[in-house]
Amino acid sequence: MAVEDSVFEKHPSIINDPSLDGKERLAALQKLASLQGHEAKRASAEINNHIHTIYSFSPYTPSMAALLARDAALAAAGTVDHDSIAAAEEMLSACAILGIGGCVGFEVRVSFKTGANGKASPFAARKLNNPDSPGYAYMTVQGVPRQSIKKAAGFLEPLRAERLRRTGAMAASANIMLREARLPEIDFEQDIVAKSKYAEGGGITERHLLAAMAERCIDEFGRGMPLIEALQSKLGLQIAPKIVSWLRDPDNPHYLFDLLGLLKTGLLGKIFIQPGEKECIPADRVTAFARSISAIPAYAYLGDVGESPTGDKKAEKFEDDFIDELFAELSHLGYQAVTYMPPRNSLEQLVRIRELAAEWGFMEISGVDINSSRQSFNCPEVLKNEFRHLLDTTWALIAHERLASVDEERLGLFSEKNPLASMNLSERIAVYAKAGRKLDLRHPQESAAVIADNIMKGRLS
């Protein structure tokens, strides 16, 4: 599709069109950046390293995710799609067009059923950071060097295929429920797979299934009270007053995502099928792969939820009662970082995580999960004194990704051959944060080559 000025000005949705090729979206984004020029919003210091795109489940293409991050005045943004790194090339290019820092990785669920080297694990039956599956945990692989993106895609291929198979089985269970409620059934291939980005390397998640169910309900009952009454009478859902107010409004721009959230809370448990070891492979296999490509494996800390600061989780216990034991196991399993979302935890929880990260030599990585149109790209918590170090770790992560793309063996942040290897981690992060801020963000890889030379010659410390 050619991007002409008149067409573009009337249809900025080109940037967020999942049916287009990424190059077409980037062309539209470049056009917008040229038109805006100096009028573009000035960046603050804020960052977000945990944005999902259409390559897992999200309303945003990589180009639109970068644009919304820039419009939220973020200085840097990163994507971590579920079981997929297909957004990476477009995200990096989009961030460069907009002049913000960009970094990429992926998110997977892994097994803690066995410990390091196949030994018995104390976490096989414990709930970690995954509310649905004891013994399984979410983790991210961050800072993937550009030359390793294809390797990462190949590594994820069998995991994507296994999750596709399991989601298909859950869709069959969902159809039984819909049939009993005398509602139209889902065609798994047409309503889920074809509407996803699976054919282009994207992941399939439970949210794809729930979105298809939500669309079936909207098609059958429309928006507003008839739908609300049908959800209550036919599917037996109890709907909180806030959700009722959202679903009563037919013009609600977040309608599908609000309904999806309701179905996730009320119905997913009835059709959920536990994953197996082919989909959630042992944690040490993923950490070993990440380290082999000079990426950084990170455990995703969730923490006990009492009164949720964001109101998005019920009261529930996760890792806090055995957090010391868990960090010891994470170290044995090969993790190098911990990632967390400051708005979701108390200050006491995060102070403890910071202490443990320092004790075990883990990098801290921050980001707020973005997969719904209702969510804000902003995370002002990172500007508080207690969390400003997360700004440095983000720039260090960006520098690591760019410098490892220049020389993977010697310039990865954790490389034993790094000329800064004799420094402790906090000192190395400080140097890499300085390097990240020195990058020409519109030409980050070219400027990384100069910075790499300075590091190798001891000129940047």
Per-residue pLDDT tens over the stretch 252-274: 999 999 999 999 999 999 999 99
The crossing angle, in degrees rounded to 10, of helices 389-406 and 425-438 is 70
Same domain, 69 and 148: yes
Phi, psi (deg, nearest 5) at residue 351: -60, -40
Is pLDDT above 70 for 41? Answer: no
Angle between helices 255-266 and 241-248 (to 10 degrees): 140
Contact status, residue 43 vs residue 78, Cβ threshold 8 Å: no
**396 in helix, strand or coil?**
helix
> Which of the listed residues 378, 402, 419 is the one where a domain comes to its end?
378
Beta-strand pair 296-300/47-51: unpaired
Both 419 and 409 in one domain: the answer is: yes
Last residue of a domain, one of 378, 400, 429: 378
Does residue 383 sit within a domain?
no
* Of residues 11 and 423, more confidently modeled: 423
Predicted local confidence at residue 311, as pLDDT:
43
Question: Domain check: are 174 and 309 in the same one?
Answer: yes
Instruction: Tell me, yes or no, whether 328 and 459 share the same domain.
Output: no
- The answer to whether residue 9 sits within a structural domain is no
Say if residue 163 is in the same domain as residue 287: yes
Residue 418 lies in a domain: yes
Distance CA 161, CA 153 (A): 12
Sheet order of strands, 47-51 included: 47-51, 76-82, 101-111, 136-142, 296-300, 337-340, 363-366
Cβ(286)–Cβ(404) below 8 Å: no
Domain that holds residue 428: 388-461
Give me the number of domains the chain comprises.
3
For the segment 293-312, the average pLDDT, to the nearest whole number, is: 79
Residues 47 and 83 placed together within one structural domain of the fold: yes
Say if CB 273 and CB 153 are below 8 A apart: no
Statement to judge: residues 284 and 158 lie in one domain? yes
Q: Is residue 301 part of a domain?
A: yes
pTM, full prediction = 0.93
What does the block give as tokens for 60? 């945003």
Distance CA 3, CA 13 (A): 12
Specify the pLDDT at position 35: 86
Which of 35-49, 328-342, 376-390, 422-436 is predicted least confidently?
Answer: 35-49
Dihedral over alpha carbons 229, 230, 235, 239 (to 10 degrees): -30
Residues 224 and 353 in one domain: no
Residue 15 lies in a domain: no
Q: Does 148 lie in the same domain as 49? A: yes
Q: What is the CATH number of the domain that holds 177?
A: 3.20.20.140
* Pair 312, 262 in one domain: no
Res 460: pLDDT: 76
Q: Which residue is it, tokens 């075990």? A: 360
Under the banding of pLDDT at 50, 70 and 90, the label for residue 40 is low
309-341 pLDDT tens trace: 444 456 789 999 999 999 999 999 999 999 999
Residue 379: what are its φ and ψ, rounded to 5°? -140, 75
Residue 312: count of CB within 10 angstroms of its CB = 14
Q: Are 129 and 233 found together in one domain? A: no
User: Are residues 250 and 369 located together in one domain of the fold?
Assistant: no
Domain boundary among 314, 344, 378: 378
Whether 207 contacts 170, CB under 8 Å:
no
Say if 35 falls within a structural domain. Answer: no
Question: Has residue 14 been placed in a domain?
Answer: no
Q: Hey, how many other C-beta atoms are within 10 angstroms of the C-beta on 44?
A: 13
Q: Is residue 335 part of a domain?
A: yes
What's the rounded Cα separation, in Å, for the pair 14 and 126?
45
Q: What's the mean per-residue pLDDT of the chain? A: 92
Output DSSP code: residue 381. G
The whole-number average pLDDT for the span 229-246 is: 95
Please provide residue 120's backbone torsions phi and psi, each rounded to the nearest 5 degrees. Answer: -60, 140
